[in-house]
Amino acid sequence: MQASRLTPLLLVLPGAGFIFVFLVAALGMTALQSVGLYSLVGESRLTADHWKSLYDKAFFDSFLFSFKVGIASSFGTFLFAYPLALFLRRRRFGTAVINSVIKIPLFVPALVAAFLILNVLAYNGVLNSVLMGLGIIDEPLRLLNDRFGWNVFIIQIWKNLPFELLIISATLQTIRTDVEDAARNLGAGPLQVIWHIVLPLSIPGILIAIVLVFILTFGDYAITRVAGPVYPSSLSVLMYTKAFTLQQWGAAACIGMVITVASLIFVAIYARAARAIEEMRT
Amino acid sequence: MSVETFSMSPQDKPRPGLAYFITLLVVALLFVWTAVPLFMAVMWSLVNPDDPWSPPAVLPPSFSLAQWEYVFTYSEIVRAMLTSFALAPIVTILSFFLSLPTAYAIGRLDFPGKDALRILILLPIVLPAMVIAMFLSRTFYVTGLAQTFVGLVIGHTLLSMPYMLRILATSFESIPQDVIDAAKNLGAGRFALVREILVPLIMPGLLAGAVFTFITSLEEFNLTFVIGTPTFQTIPTVLFDYLGYHFVRTNAAVVSIILMVPSIALLFIAERYLKSEYLSSAFGKI
Amino acid sequence: MHVLRLDHLFRRYAGFTAVDDLSLEVQKGELVTLLGPSGCGKTTTLRMVAGFITPDGGDIWFGAQRMNDVPPHRRNTAMVFQSYALFPHMTVAENVAFGLRMQKTPVDERARRVDEALDMVSLNGLQDRRPAQLSGGQQQRVALARAIVTRPNILLFDEPLSNLDAKLRVKVRQEIRELQTRLGVTTLYVTHDQGEALAISDRIVVMNKGRIEQIGDPGTIYRFPRTSFVADFLGAANIIEGRAFGKGMIESPVGKFAVKSKAPLAEGPVKMSWRPEDMKLASGTSGNSIVARVRNVGFYGNFTELEVESAGHLLRVQVDSDFKPHVGDTLTFTIDANRIQIVE
pLDDT tens track for A148-171: 678 888 889 998 998 888 888 888
Separation CA A118–CA A151 (nearest Å): 7
Q: What is the model's pLDDT at position C263?
A: 75
**Helical ranges in C184-340 per DSSP H:** 194-200, 218-223, 228-233
User: Which chain B residues are closer than 8 Å to C49 by Cβ?
Assistant: none
Position B274 confidence tier, pLDDT thresholds 50, 70, 90: low
Chain A residues touching B122 at Cβ < 8 A: 267
pLDDT given for residue A77 in this prediction: 92
Which residue, among B99, B82, B129, has the nearest Cα to B208 in the 3D structure? B99
Lowest mean pLDDT among A127-131, B96-100, C258-262: A127-131
Phi, psi (degrees; rounded to nearest 5) at A259: -60, -45
Instruction: Give the model's pLDDT for residue A3.
Output: 52
Report chain B residues whose CB lies below 8 A from the CB of A108. Answer: 38, 260, 263-264
Residues in chain B: 286
Looking at residue B16, what is its pLDDT? 62
Mean pLDDT value across residues B78-99: 93
Residue B2: CB atoms within 10 Å? 4
Give CA–CA dist C311/C316, Å, rounded.
14
Stretch A265-276: mean pLDDT: 83
Q: How far is C208 from chain B (nearest CA, A)?
A: 25
* Partner B contacted by A200 (CB < 8 A): no
Which chain C residues have a beta carbon less than 8 Å from that of B179? 85-88
The pLDDT, as a whole number, for residue B96 is 93
Residue pairs spanning A and B at CB distance below 8 A: 283
Longest pairwise C-alpha distance within chain C: 75
Kindly determine whether residue B36 and residue A126, on different chains, have CB atoms separated by under 8 Å: yes
Residue A241's nearest CA partner among A227, A255, A262, A228 is A255
Band of residue C282 on the pLDDT scale cut at 50, 70, 90? confident
Greater model confidence, C323 or A135: C323
Q: Using the beta-carbon criterion (under 8 Å), do B37 and A103 form an inter-chain contact? A: no
Pairing verdict, β C186-191 and C31-35: parallel
Q: Is the pLDDT of residue C107 over 80?
A: yes
pLDDT band, residue A135 (cuts 50/70/90): confident
Interface predicted TM-score (ipTM) over 0.90: no
**Which of B27, B136, B244 minimises the CB distance to A26?**
B136
In this prediction, residues B152-171 reach a mean pLDDT of: 92
Q: What is the percent of chain A with per-residue pLDDT over 70, rounded to a whole number?
A: 90
Q: For residue B5, what pLDDT is reported?
A: 44
**Residue A97: its pLDDT value, please?**
74
Sheet with C65-66, edge to edge strand ranges? C16-26, C4-13, C57-62, C65-66
Q: Which H, E and C letters describe chain B, residue by residue? A: CCCCCCCCCCCCCCCHHHHHHHHHHHHHHHHHHHHHHHHHHHHHHCECCCCCCCCCCCCCCCECCHHHHHHHHHCCHHHHHHHHHHHHHHHHHHHHHHHHHHHHHHHHCCCCCHHHHHHHHHHHHHCCHHHHHHHHHHHHHHHCCCCCHHHHHHHHHHHHHHHHHHHHHHHHHCCCHHHHHHHHHCCCCHHHHHHHHHHHHHHHHHHHHHHHHHHHHHHCCHHHHHHHCCCCCCHHHHHHHHHCCCCCHHHHHHHHHHHHHHHHHHHHHHHHCCCHHHHHHHHHCC
pLDDT at C303 over 70: yes
Q: So what's the pLDDT on residue B4? A: 43
Q: What is the mean pLDDT of chain C?
A: 91
Q: Which residue would you say has higher pLDDT here, C268 or B146? A: C268
Beta-carbon contacts of residue C93 (< 8 Å; ≥ 6 apart): C111, C114, C118, C127, C128
Which residue is closest to C98 within chain B, CA to CA? B186
Interchain contact C10–B (C-beta under 8 A): no
B52: pLDDT strictly greater than 80: no
CA dihedral B138, B140, B141, B145 (to 10 degrees): -160
- Mean pLDDT, rounded, for A135-154: 73
Instruction: Give residue A11's pLDDT.
Output: 86
Is residue A41 scored above 90 in pLDDT? Answer: no
Are residues B283 and A212, on separate chains, in Cβ contact within 8 Å?
yes
Mean pLDDT, chain B, rounded, equals 82
pLDDT greater than 80 at residue B268: no
Confidence label for B6 from pLDDT (cuts 50, 70 and 90): very low
If contacts are CB pairs under 8 Å, which of residues 185-244 in chain B contact chain A?
215, 218-219, 221-222, 236, 239-240, 243-244
| pLDDT beyond 70 at B234 | yes
In this prediction, residues C39-52 reach a mean pLDDT of 93
Q: Choose among C275, C133, C266, C259: nearest CA to C198.
A: C275
Number of residues that make up chain A: 282
**pLDDT for position B279:** 55
Chain A stretch 4-33, residues whose beta carbon is closer than 8 A to a beta carbon of chain B? 7-16, 18-20, 22-23, 25-27, 29-30, 33
Residue C145 pLDDT > 90, yes or no? yes
Distance from B1 to chain A by nearest Cα, in Å?
26
In C, minimum Cα distance to B190 occurs at C73
Has residue B285 got a pLDDT over 80? no
CB contact under 8 A, A259 and B128: yes
Sign of CA dihedral C84, C85, C89, C90: negative
- C210 backbone dihedrals φ, ψ, rounded to 5°: 85, -5
- Pick A91 or B262 by higher pLDDT: B262
Structure confidence at residue C216 as a pLDDT band (50, 70, 90): very high
Q: Cα separation of B50 and B40, whole Å?
A: 19
Q: What is the pLDDT at residue C138? A: 92
Nearest-angstrom CA–CA distance, C22 and B187: 27
Which has the minimum average pLDDT: A147-151, A191-195, B186-190? A147-151
B280 touches chain A (CB under 8 A): yes
How far is C259 from C65, CA to CA, in rounded Å? 47
Please tell me the distance in Å from A25's CA to the nearest CA on chain B: 7
Percent of chain B with pLDDT over 90: 29
Residue A94: predicted pLDDT? 66
Task: State the nearest Cα–Cα gap between A35 and chain B, in angstroms.
Answer: 14
Tell me which chain A residues have a C-beta less than 8 angstroms from the C-beta of B193: none
State whether residue A146 is helix, strand or coil.
coil
pLDDT band at B271 (very low <50, low <70, confident <90, very high): low
d(CA C28, CA C1): 8
Looking at residue B78, its pLDDT comes to: 87
Contact, A22 vs B158, CB < 8 A?
Answer: yes
Average pLDDT taken over every residue of chain A: 82
Q: How far apart are CA C297 and CA C317, in angstroms?
A: 10
Q: Which of A94, A200, A220, A96 is nearest to A157 (CA)?
A: A220
Closest-CA distance, B277 to chain A, in angstroms, reads 7
Give the Cα separation of B208 and C274 in Å (integer).
64
Shortest alpha-carbon distance between residue B188 and chain C (Å)? 6
Tell me what percent of the residues of chain C surpass a pLDDT of 90: 64
Residues 6+ apart with CB under 8 A from B253: A115, A119, B41, B42, B43, B44, B45, B67
Higher-pLDDT residue of B130, A34: B130
Q: Do C83 and B183 touch (CB under 8 A)?
A: no
Q: How many CB atoms lie within 10 A of CB A187?
A: 7
**Whole-number Å distance between alpha carbons of B114 and B93:** 25
Q: What is the pLDDT of residue B26?
A: 79
